[in-house]
Structure 1
């Protein structure tokens, strides 16, 4: 049935700040940017007169995040769920050097939820942090085999 994972869509309030975070800090690249409007978008969103800028961002492994900035409809307040809330709780990324990644993120004002933790089996080091607009990210460095 499913042939592959396509992307995760994130509605953002500040597109330029989000692009800075995902591209300049996290290392994603813009693979496509479009201003979208018309009957097809209205139908998909179940709204009228939608105007949205969409930006597909590619991770080094090719997986995608899609940022959506609506210019036609007011933003909803930032997602305020937590790790036990129903729905999207966090996005996890594998990194090659967790210490360096955390240091870089801290330089850019990203809040770490705790010090780096090691899994009980010793196979991974990980940490949660809060990214743009309150999005929780899990960063994982796997132990060498």
Structure 2
């Protein structure tokens, strides 16, 4: 029935700031940027390594979503990386702080968390 995940939709509070974060800090490439005048809203289609994966939306005055402690709904978005320390160092150079490195009890793989401009929890998971 399902073939895979097509995309992840994220609604941001500050479009310019989030666009910068996802493209300049995390390195996503822009596929298409659309301003929807009737909704006063942007839709930014983003790719990672050539694969379409995030739709970044802006809406006037979007309601805040509870994130911590563990609220129902989307918990976090995780990105696979090959060198966790190098990614953490790069984020630090771009003024993005990360939590201390942890080890997954089940897989013994290392990971850390950081946040986007709207405090959406993001994870780096070392493969």
TM-score range, shorter chain: 0.7 to 0.9
Paired residues, what number?
A: 127
For the 8 Å contact 2:67–2:120, the answer to whether it is kept is no
Determine the C-alpha separation between the residues in 1 that align with 2:83 and 2:50: 16
Where do 5+ consecutive residues of structure 1 fail to align?
A: 38-48
Residues of 2 paired with 1:80 and 1:110: CA distance?
A: 21
Q: Following superposition, which runs of at least 4 residues in structure 1 exceed 6 angstroms of deviation?
A: none
- Unaligned stretches of 5+ in structure 2? none
Q: Aligned Cα RMSD in Å?
A: 2.0
Deviation at 1:88, TM superposition (A): 1.2
- Verify the 8 A CA contact 2:13 2:61 in the aligned structure 1: no
SS in structure 1 at match of 2:113: strand
Deviation, structure 1 residue 123: 4.4
Residue 52 (structure 1) aligns with: 41
CA distance in 1 between partners of 2:74 and 2:105 (Å): 25
Distance in 2 (alpha carbons) for counterparts of 1:10 and 1:75: 11
In structure 2, distance between residues paired with 1:61 and 1:83: 34
